[in-house]
Structure 1
Amino acid sequence: MPRDPDRSGPGGRVDLGRAAVTDLHRDDPGHTFYYITLTTPGEAFGPALSAWSHEALARRADADVVRYSYADSPFSIVGEQYLRPVRELFAARPDVAGIADADEACAEFALRLRAMETALRRLDDEGLFGVGEARAGVLVLVEVVPGDEENVPAARRLNPPGPALDAWLGPAA
C-alpha cells in the first residue's frame, strides 16, 4: 500500500516543503513574499508551489488582476525537485476521478488536501512564513484550482486574522 501523503520526518512532505520555500527565499533575495500557495487541480494531483512578491507585483500593469494568481506569477510552480516525491506519493494512491464510490472519492480528495494543509501549518509553526506582524502580511494557501468552495475555509484555518487574509477574502469570499 502506498504511504499516506500526510507524513513528516526526514524526507517527509514537511522537509520537502521547507526546502522548496527556503530555496524560493534564497534564490530571490530582495523579494518580500506576500502570497505562498500549494495548488492542485480538482483531481487532487500532487501539489505545486507558487508565490508572489510585492516587488514582482509592482512590475505588473495588471497588478489588481494577477495579485493572487498562482499561474501569472514569475514564481509559479517553483521547487519542483522537492515536490516531485510528494506528487509521486499522490500518484501512487487511488485516482480520485476513478473511485466509483462518491464517499470514498471525497475521502481521498480530503486526505490529500489535509496533507497539503498540515505541511504548511507545520512550516508556519516553525516560523518559515514569518512571525508576528511579518506573518500577518503573508497569505499562505492550499488552493484547488480553478477556485473551489474549500479554498476559503482552508485559508481561514491556515492564516491568522489580519490584513493579508482580509485582502484575499474580499474577492474570494
Structure 2
Amino acid sequence: MNYSDDIFEKLVATIEEATSQAAIDLFNSTNETFYFFVLSTTGEALAPFVSAWSYEALKKQSIAQNWDAYDIADFKWSSIDSPYLEFGSQYFHQVNKAFLDRIDIHSLKTEVEYEKEFNFRINVMEEALHRCDMKGIFSLNQARSEIMINVEVLPPDYTNTIRAKKLNPIESIQFWLKEAAETVE
C-alpha cells in the first residue's frame, strides 16, 4: 500500500478538481441557495460522489412529494434523497479511476491495514474539500456561513460529525448538529 506524500497530493488534486468543477457547475446552473454540499462515500471509502441540497430544492420536493414537517426533517439532510445526488458525475471519471487503481480494500488481510487504507482515502477527500473551501467555492451562491460541507460516510456514523466540525464554521453546522449529527454511542 502506497501512502507517500506524492500519492496523497495527486489524489487530493484529482478530487479537488472534480469537486470544484461540479460545485461551480451546480452553483452557476441554478439560482438557488445551498445549505448542504457533501462528498459522500461508502463504509468502504470507495470513490466519492457529490450530493447537495438547496432551500429551493427542499421546498420543491416537499410540495411535489406532499411532505409534512416530519418528512421534511427526515429528508432535509439526506444525501441519497437529494435531487442533486451524484451531481457533476461527469467530472469524477479520473477520481473513479484513481480509486480503482488503489488496492482493493477488501483484499487487505488485517484490520490495521484496512483502517490505514480507509483513513488514507477519507483524509484525501477531506483535504480536497477543504482546499475547495479555501478557494471560495462554497460562497458562490450563498454566504459560506450558510452552507454545511462534509465528507460523509454512508450509512452515517459519528465520524461524519467529527469531520463536519473540522470543515465548517460553527454557524454553518448549528442546525445540522441539532437535526442530523451522529454521536458516539
Q: Shared fold by TM > 0.5?
A: yes
SS in 2 for 1:76: coil
Work out whether 1:140 is the aligned partner of 2:140: no
Partner of 2:7: 4
Judge conservation of contact 1:6–1:118 (CA < 8 Å) in 2. no
Query: How many Å separate the matches in 1 of 2:112 and 2:155?
Result: 22
Using the TM superposition, name which of 92-101 and 68-77 deviates more.
92-101
Over the matched positions of the two proteins, sequence identity in percent amounts to 35
Residues 67-106 of structure 1 mapped to structure 2, 5 A cutoff: 67-106=76-115
Judge conservation of contact 1:5–1:89 (CA < 8 Å) in 2. no
Work out whether 1:27 is the aligned partner of 2:33: no
Work out whether 1:151 is the aligned partner of 2:160: yes
Partner of 1:121: 130
The code of the aligned residue for 1:32 comes to T
Give per-residue Cα distances to partners, 1:105-151, cap 9 Å, x unaligned.
101000111111101100101111118x8111100010010112211
Query: How many Å separate the matches in 2 of 1:96 and 1:169?
Result: 31
Task: Give the 3 Å change call, closer, same or farther, for CA 33–115 of structure 1 in structure 2.
Answer: same
Larger Rg: 2
Q: TM-score, normalised by structure 1?
A: 0.89
Q: TM-score, normalised by structure 2?
A: 0.84
Task: Give the total of aligned pairs.
Answer: 169
Unaligned runs of 5+ in 2: none
Query: How many Å separate the matches in 1 of 2:75 and 2:130?
Result: 25
Greater helix percent: which structure? 2
